[in-house]
Amino acid sequence: MFSFQSKKIYLFMFLGIQLVVIALFSREAYKKSVTYFIHILRKDNASIPTGRNQTSTAVVANGGDVYANLSRLSKAHSQGENLTYCPKTSPLIGGRINVRIHSNFTMQEVQRKNPLVVRGGRYRPPDCEARHRTAIIIPHRDREHHLKVLLYFLHPFLQRQQLNYGFYVIHQAGNYTYNKAKLMNVGFREAMKDEDWDCLFFHDVDLIPEDNRNTYVCDANPKHVSVAIDKFGYELPYNQVFGGVTALSPLHYLKMNGFPNNYWGWGGEDDDIGDRVSLAGMSISRPSLKVGRYKMIKHKLDKGNNANTKRFNLLRKTRQTWKQDGMNTVESRVISREYHPLYTNITVDVGTKAGLPPPPPPPKAATMADQIQHHG
Ligand code: UD2
Ligand code: MN
């Protein structure tokens, strides 16, 4: 039996050891190794499927492959109408994605790799009711090779996040000067006709996300998402930047009267949109640099998208113009709406600086003589 005295000694020794351990761990170097250790533990956990609900928990990205184990999802069948909500955090979300840009694959192969995506590029989780409905709006003209790469990476990326999502490619018809912001207004209008989306992601065709923890859902404020792009050394280039990938709820979008319609050519429209956010009494939210990472597919300035020399003058006037020009004044003509397997394509005539041309005459009605001839 220990005496009371020796028990006391043991107690002090025990407390002493604890103090030493705490002191060591709180030193900077130890802090780092502790976080590293926790990180390893988490990583291990992520790749171990738990027994419960095998179909979904087993599907976690391995070695940065955004498609890793994803095919198992396609085996999960919906259990009828009454699905329960998906978990708040998807168990399928992986971490860093290994984005290697090449294009020696076909659109059909992307289609085969995404068997649960249906007509028009729509998807919903097969085994639970999605908590979020996100539309991806992509401005486009003559960038088919970029579009293919984006779809290859973004479809599985979003499936891992268990979203109900849809892809809209807004294609500017003709070869008049490009107008990205106006195309986005058209994209908003057309997407909202289809579904009560609760978030819209306005997405450059050439930006490929590199971290699956960058969830494609909206924040309380308009979100600038592409904060860390390889082209800018994975740093925010300047504080008010609002180009690349942004996420707004329909309410955010309407509150700021959408995007400007009068920026023709490259540049300025993104800063105008950033200004609109604050003019409408909101602020910009952002993911962390760790998670909001993107690779930009290398490209030159496109034909028909020369730098807009008027942009600095326009930008000085945003405060006066934002309520008169935007979603409330967008004039355009949808030429076609095509439901491709991996996206909905909307080809639109956004007109020119001079406005929208008069509509083409309707096809000539058949004359009585034609009809008689046809029936005779
Ligand atoms: C920056 C912005 C971009 C936009 C642009 C100025 C970032 C990361 N990106 O990108 O959001 O504000 O400057 O206008 O800050 N596009 C076509 N075909 C064309 C022209 C443009 O599809 O002929 C689309 C395509 O989706 C492209 C986007 O418009 O990604 C932006 O054009 P960009 O990539 O030439 O501009 P960039 O990289 O300087
Ligand atoms: Mn670009």
Q: What is the pLDDT of residues 248-270, one digit of tens each?
A: 999 999 999 999 999 999 999 99
Instruction: Print burial letters for 177-187: b (CB count within 10 Å at least 16), e (below 16).
Output: bbbbbbbbbbb
The predicted pLDDT at position 57 comes to 32
Report yes or no: 165 and 138 within 8 Å, Cβ to Cβ. Answer: no
Sign of the dihedral defined by the CA atoms of residues 87, 196, 247, 173, in that order:
positive
In tens, the pLDDT along 291-339 reads 999 999 999 999 999 999 999 999 999 999 999 999 999 999 999 999 9
- Report how far ligand 2's centroid is from the alpha carbon of 299 (Å): 7
Q: Is the CB of 272 under 6 A from ligand 1?
A: no
Work out the average pLDDT over 358-375.
69
Angle between helix 180-194 and 269-279 (nearest 10): 60
Confirm if 212 and 160 have CB atoms less than 8 A apart: yes
Instruction: Return the number of other C-beta atoms located less than 10 Å from residue 334's C-beta.
Output: 14
Atom of ligand 1 at shortest range from CA of 229: 8
Return the pLDDT at 118.
97
Contact 175, 206 (CB under 8 A): no
- Cα separation of 71 and 73, whole Å? 5
Instruction: List the residue whose alpha carbon is closest to atom 19 of ligand 1.
Output: 141
Q: How many CB atoms lie within 10 A of CB 218?
A: 22
- Six-digit token string for 90: 């998807």
pLDDT digits 0-9 by tens, 81-128:
688 999 999 999 999 999 999 889 999 999 999 999 999 999 999 999
Residue 223 Cβ inside 6 Å of ligand 1? The answer reads no
Q: Is the CB of 61 under 6 A from ligand 1?
A: no
> Which H or E element spans position 223?
strand 223-224
Nearest in space to 95 (alpha carbons), one of 240, 218, 264, 211: 211
Question: pLDDT tens-digit profile of 178-196?
Answer: 999 999 999 999 999 999 9
**Per-residue model confidence (pLDDT) at position 370:** 62
Residue closest via CA to ligand 1's atom 7 equals 244
Q: Point out the ligand nearest to the CA of residue 292.
A: 1
Closest of 38, 53, 153, 149 to residue 103, by C-alpha: 149
